[in-house]
Structure 1
């Protein structure tokens, strides 16, 4: 019998269902249009915040199970799961996860067998970007030691101060930095043993490299680094902060874990190859970069120093898919001569901070559709922002949902007094949308501030008390921000710090170095804006002692010998007297406003001249050349 089912008339539901489905489809399209129009970042926000929640739950789950997993623990898991996967690529050499595990174990066994180091002791690490930085860091972590990352650019008094601040039992020095330690060797505390990553070392230094060749690479028992609380200190990372010499910011295991999730939060995976030229002594290079690769099981291409001319060659050579940046890095790349095939690479993401809007646009126009993932966060801070949307110029989102996770305010700031404004009742008040305000973050159990090593006064200076009500405490970021309805934008830095060449410069440190000269009576150091440059260039205003004359060559030799290159003042101004604030601080506000224009300033002005190894008079011609970009600072 023939099958007549196909010839049966449709049931009564079919005509009714068709208009309903059509209406549903139309409604979905309309809702999608409304969402795109009114809430264009809804799904981006949803996915990102879901990751934040999941990461928090994951840490909580580990804690509830009694499994306190650290960055080191995650590295050991990766080394066990993927022993032969490349972890670090450096100058053409590949170091697998297993290689780094074994080499770091050798480091641990050297200190187990040839030193009195014990769990909880601090060891200072002075080393450039190289695989042994990671080997020594992880090796000491395997012993449960706290590792203090020292800035490889600092010298003499600043270096000695940093070492004394963190109170180490030992100091490990890279082969290329041993001379810097030799200069202060006799001034180091007597109980600090010095280890050099070199076969032949000066008297008073132990050769770590020699002992490594005979050391065991067997796994180190986990009991040595097992932690009972994620809020225990694992690192000290030095930051110039807002006053004085560099301070050792306390980095807990929990902070390290959170920072290492940054690459993952921006969408990186285990298949990514991450290019890191940022210094490992900073949190961006060490925690976001190395720690981020550990979190993912990804590969890090490490370079000793950033090279604008070699950047894209390296990216192509190593099939880089993600790179870390600071604003200056991107600007340098944009300043390079244009070449064919600049978009011929596999880079899809760039993760970092401090890129100007104009450089951002120029960068993606020139080098291709690379998503710039801007983030904001102080090393020691209790708040961070991540611009996961790619909105040009913004450091992060500020909508209602974000405020559920990140408690912050932008308060009014008195630029003349250089302090937060307070009303008649002594309370601070928030700025309006679109106005610059000081970014502060609430300190509580969920967002703690762990402060600095050493005297409590350093930690106390970074906190604001009784801000909106009696008893409340806020972390003072020292940064001025502007917000609109949806995004947060960096505006400027305040206080005694400015940023130049991607580094924070503490003005008091520079002033102290200048004040050592016998012809200087007073030195006031500050940053001035220079067209076409990120951050602010250093400028020193000085008063000469009576009956003393200015020695420009001696001034040059003093700052170059005692300060990192980025901290040396580019400009010099000679004054007869200096204005003071009501609290007897040197007035900087007007000096910053004056800048370095010789047509507006009657005082003698000078410019740093590295070729002539001195300072030279800043003429109108030189000023014009700087403004046109013909003279590089």
Structure 2
């Protein structure tokens, strides 16, 4: 009896000790159990003969909920059955009019619209992977992306006619079939496709047309900017596509949800996590041609949205709108995404209601993932022994100046201490694979880090600097290399420098990103050295960047320097430039700022600087 008494008296002590030393233990165990179950489901699906892939899950949803709305798009409503039939028509039309064979890639150059999704599904039905071209790319970048995927066919939106015509002679010379997704074509050498789709049969497409597709087969090519200066085509296998819906599933998305996807479908977040996640659950999707901050909440109310995807910048846009009495009048219960700053996170929830925020960390091509299932404001996720056991990763000491990991006398990397910023590297294993990029194999090899902790081991170099606190919460700190992020897009500095250097008065350009208070990411800035005897011409530079660069990649500030500082290996130094920012109070060199109204780069003065700090200037 006394032993029983002692045990009972000890329970509160054990409870207190757990609260003190392991406050998140049960939540960690519960989340890991759910994640393990989903992983097991994916593994079992891939072992089936034939394997049960994304398209099979879509077929399942069509069979159990054919009349359920799948896509809401402005005034249109498309059911699961509607999209199934339309994708059948697309498949039959391509089989009849194109030279496509199973395994051939098709590049899609479309905006956010239902056609993007039924085209994707139609291609899957005939065993063709899809290259998702960013509709902002032009000329050199367009050709680079298209060629990397080795696509045989291009399907483009008619509104992108100018971009297509710019590269059409080269595509024609290379034997590419080009279609506009329209009923007629205004361009010689480009065929219309929508009329052919509408005239095609909507009968089921035989499984034999995709009989060679396995879990290892390419499903998508998603483009991500990197240190090469041009986008890289990350290879997304059918297996990776299957598991990509884990983020939506683990965040709590269900069949009853309506998910608003304001992110571009050519990104992995919008397509693989958003659309793919909704297919997994049989949920509904809301699309809009272009994100509109002024229509966001009206759309949420109109379609009874319960979940929306985000990047951190989206929250800031919403918080910067004038306050309204109906700010909390909506059905949204969950927001799923990444890149959300702590201050904006708090402000958003105070203003728009207690919406659960599920922040995560993942990379399109990477093999590391973090989930903030606790809801810790500002964190990208949790680090614990269970996660490390299933997907080994480390935060290692990193020399930002030299842009390389710090190694000890034995030549091995060292773990960063708790509270210290380190480079995220993840071990490449059978369960945590890194497939790499299509095209130049050297780009794939550059992302691999060898002999990290012992000779012969192999890790994926994320290129991201993270920090883990004493409680195990992980925080994003910065990116390394020649890439920074602005308005939710990765900007490759070398690509921007190439465009800036096209101006005949500039000898050398060093591009980097600088922090702007109250804004997510870093905005573009360029330090330039002028050619001898030349003067800075703001109008000429403005014309170049507008013509060749998308909005998010255009450098907003220009700094004129007598010399561009380089390292001993002739790499341009950026660290001190980034620290200086764009303040005329710190920088003594001439400064210029982009002025879209005057269509030039005008001299930067203290008044303009203060306008930006006061959030009165549009960036």
**TM beyond 0.5:** yes
CA–CA separation in structure 1 for the residues paired with 2:335 and 2:326: 19
Instruction: Say whether residues 1:66 and 2:45 are aligned partners.
Output: no
1:516 is the counterpart of 2:499: no
Look up the match of 1:159: 142
Counterparts in 2 of 1:558-573, with a 5 A limit?
558-573=544-559
2:448·2:459 contact (CA, 8 Å) conserved in 1?
A: yes
Q: Partner of 1:80 in structure 2?
A: 63
Partner in structure 2 of residue 345 of structure 1: 330
Mapped contact 1:527–1:538 kept (Cα < 8 A): yes
1:199-598 paired onto structure 2 within 5 Å? 199-201=183-185, 202-227=187-212, 229-484=214-469, 485-598=471-584
**Separation in 1, partners of 2:122, 2:311:** 29
Verify the 8 A CA contact 2:497 2:509 in the aligned structure 1.
yes
Deviation of residue 341 (structure 1)?
Answer: 2.0
Contact 1:261 1:295 in 2 (8 A): no
**Cα distance in 2, alignment partners of residues 306 and 587 from structure 1:** 36
TM-aligned CA deviation for residue 33 of structure 1 = 5.1
Equivalent residue for 1:601, pick from 587, 591, 599: 587
Q: Could you tell me whether the CA contact under 8 Å between 2:46 and 2:239 is conserved in 1? A: no
The secondary structure found in structure 2 opposite 1:184 is helix
- Please tell me whether the aligned partners of residues 184 and 191 of structure 2 are also in contact (alpha carbons under 8 angstroms): no
SS of residue paired to 2:594: strand
5+ unaligned residues in a row in structure 2: which ranges?
Answer: none
Q: Deviations over 1:436-458 (max 9, x none)?
A: 01111111222111000011111
Question: Equivalents in 2 of 1:79, 1:44: separation in Å?
Answer: 35
Q: Residues 311 and 26 of structure 1: is their aligned pair in 2 closer, same or farther, counting only changes over 3 Å?
A: farther
Shift of 1:428: 1.5
> In structure 1, what is the equivalent of residue 609 of structure 2?
623
- Aligned mates of 1:111, 1:394 — CA distance in 2: 46
Distance 2:46 2:602 in 1: 61
1:358 is displaced (CA, Å) by 0.6
The 3-state SS of whatever aligns with 2:33 is helix
Please say which of residues 237-246 and 59-68 is displaced more in the overlay: 59-68
1:5 aligned residue? none
In the aligned structure 2, how far is the partner of 1:228 from the partner of 1:194? 25
Structure 1 distance, partners of 2:255, 2:201, is 30
Query: In 2, Cα distance between the equivalents of 1:473 and 1:109?
Result: 44
Structure 1 gap ranges (5+): 1-15
How big is the shift at 1:359? 0.6
- Do the aligned partners of residues 228 and 103 (structure 1) sit closer, same or farther apart at CA in structure 2, a change above 3 Å counting? closer
My pick for the range that moved more, 293-302 or 339-348, is 339-348
Residue 25 (structure 2) aligned to one of 35, 39, 42: 42
Q: CA deviation at 1:538?
A: 0.2
Answer whether contact 1:68 1:227 (CA < 8 A) is retained.
no
The one-character-per-residue Cα deviations of 1:475-523 (angstroms, maximum 9, x if unpaired) are 1111100001321110011110000001100001101111122222111
Shift of 1:43: 2.8
> What is the CA–CA distance in structure 2 between the aligned matches of 1:112 and 1:177, rounded to whole Å?
24
Partner of 2:82: 99
Indicate if the aligned counterparts of 1:198 and 1:210 stay in contact, CA closer than 8 A: yes
TM superposition shift of 1:248: 0.3
Query: Matches of 2:134 and 2:60 in 1, distance apart?
Result: 30
The number of equivalent residue pairs is 616
Deviation string for 1:177-209 (max 9, x for gaps)?
Answer: 122111111122522111101223111111011
The answer to whether the 8 A contact 2:367-2:426 is kept is: yes
Rounded to whole Å, the distance in 1 between the matches of 2:208 and 2:531 is: 61
Task: Find the residue that maps to 2:199 and give its secondary structure.
Answer: coil
Q: Distance in 2 between matches of 1:434 and 1:368?
A: 32
CA distance in 1, matches of 2:207, 2:67: 22
Q: 1:29 to 1:305 in 2, by over 3 A?
A: farther
Residue 31 of structure 1, CA deviation? 5.1
1:406 Cα offset (Å): 2.2
Following superposition, the deviation at residue 417 of structure 1 comes to 1.2
The structure having more radius of gyration, on CA atoms, is 1
Aligned position for 1:10: none
Whole-Å separation in 1 of the counterparts to 2:377 and 2:50:
40
Contact 2:225 2:492 in 1 (8 A): yes
**Distance in 1, Cα, partners of 2:7 & 2:94:** 70
Shift of 1:375: 0.7
Report the Cα distance in structure 2 between the residues aligned to 1:394 and 1:263, rounded to whole angstroms: 18
373-382 or 546-555: which moved more?
546-555
- CA distance in 1 between partners of 2:17 and 2:580 (Å): 49
Question: Kindly tell me: are residues 28 and 344 of structure 1, through their superposed partners in 2, closer, same or farther at Cα, counting changes over 3 Å?
Answer: farther
Alignment of 1:7-18 (within 5 A): none
CA contact (8 A) 1:417 1:582 kept: no
Are the aligned partners of 1:104 and 1:135 in contact in 2 as well (CA < 8 Å)?
Answer: yes
The answer to whether the 8 Å contact 2:127/2:213 transfers is no
Instruction: State yes or no: 1:129 paired with 2:112.
Output: yes
Q: CA deviation at 1:229?
A: 3.1
Name the CA distance, whole Å, in 2 between partners of 1:351 and 1:273: 13
Q: Describe the SS at the equivalent of 1:58.
A: helix
Match of 2:180 in 1: 196
Q: Distance in 2 between matches of 1:556 and 1:525?
A: 15
Measure how far apart 1:53 and its partner are.
1.1
8 Å contact 2:69–2:77 — kept in the other structure?
yes
**TM-score, length-scaled by structure 1:** 0.94
